[in-house]
C-alpha cells in the first residue's frame, strides 16, 4: 500500500487543498491529510477545529484520512508508514520555499520522498490567508471553500451573510 502525507496548517482548508487531495487519492492507496498544530503561526482555528473542518470538506473521499500532528513532519510520515510527502505548488513564488523544505526533509529522512502537485487552474490563486481576509471583510468566499468551512469562518469572524 502506498501512503502519502499531505501536510499543512489548513487554516482553513480550501477548495484548492481539496482538489489536490482528490487528485492524490487517484494516485495513492491512502492519503493522510496531516493538519499541523502550527501554534507558532497563531491560526484562526484550533487544531481540533481545523481537523474537523477538513474531515467535513473531504467526507466520502475514499482512501483519505484526516488527523492532526504536532511532531516533526518526517517523523510523523515514518510513524504512519508514508513514503511520500505531498506538497502543492500554486505559483513560482511557492517553489523556492518548497524546494528548501524538501531538501531538509530528505536530509532528515532519506527514505521519504517529496512530490509536488499543482492545483487545477481555477484554484491556483486560492490561499487560506486570502480566504480569511476576504471573509473578515464580509466578502463572498463560497467558491473558495466547502460550505461548512464558510459557515465556520463566518462564525469565527463574527460575520454572517444573510442568504
Task: Compute the 3-state secondary structure of the chain and give helix, strand, coil in percent, each to the nearest 5.
Answer: 45, 20, 35
Please, is 18 exposed, middle or buried when counting C-beta atoms within 10 Å of its C-beta (0-12, 13-18, 19+)? buried
User: Which of 65, 75, 84 lies closest to 27 in space, CA to CA?
Assistant: 84
59 is catalytic: no
> Bridge partners of 31?
4, 64
Which of 39, 41, 59, 161 is an active site residue? 41
Q: Which of these is catalytic: 80, 83, 90, 106?
A: 90
Of the listed 36, 87, 128, 146, which one is catalytic? 128
Residue 41 among the catalytic residues: yes
Rounded distance between C-alpha atoms, residue 147 and residue 57, angstroms: 8
Q: Which of 17, 50, 123, 146 is flagged as catalytic?
A: 17
Grid cell listed for 53? 473542518
- Concerning whether 26 is annotated as a catalytic residue, the answer is no
Please, are residues 5 and 80 in contact by the beta-carbon 8 Å criterion? yes
Any idea which residues carry the catalytic annotation? 17, 41, 90, 128
Amino acid at each position: 500500500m502506498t501512503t502519502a502525507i499531505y501536510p499543512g496548517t489548513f487554516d482553513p482548508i480550501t477548495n484548492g487543498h481539496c482538489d489536490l487531495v482528490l487528485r492524490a487519492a487517484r494516485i495513492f492507496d491512502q492519503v493522510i491529510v496531516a493538519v499541523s498544530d502550527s501554534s507558532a503561526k497563531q491560526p484562526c482555528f484550533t487544531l481540533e477545529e481545523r481537523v474537523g473542518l477538513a474531515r467535513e470538506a473531504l467526507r466520502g473521499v475514499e482512501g483519505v484520512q484526516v488527523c492532526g500532528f504536532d511532531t516533526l513532519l518526517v517523523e510523523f510520515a515514518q510513524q504512519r508508514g508514508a513514503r511520500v510527502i505531498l506538497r502543492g505548488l500554486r505559483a513560482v513564488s511557492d517553489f523556492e520555499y518548497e524546494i528548501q523544505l524538501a531538501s531538509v526533509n530528505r536530509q532528515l529522512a532519506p527514505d521519504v520522498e517529496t512530490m509536488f502537485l499543482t492545483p487545477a487552474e481555477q484554484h491556483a490563486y486560492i490561499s487560506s490567508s486570502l480566504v480569511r481576509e476576504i471573509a473578515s471583510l464580509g466578502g463572498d468566499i463560497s467558491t473558495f471553500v466547502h460550505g461548512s468551512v464558510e459557515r465556520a469562518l463566518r462564525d469565527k469572524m463574527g460575520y454572517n451573510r444573510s442568504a
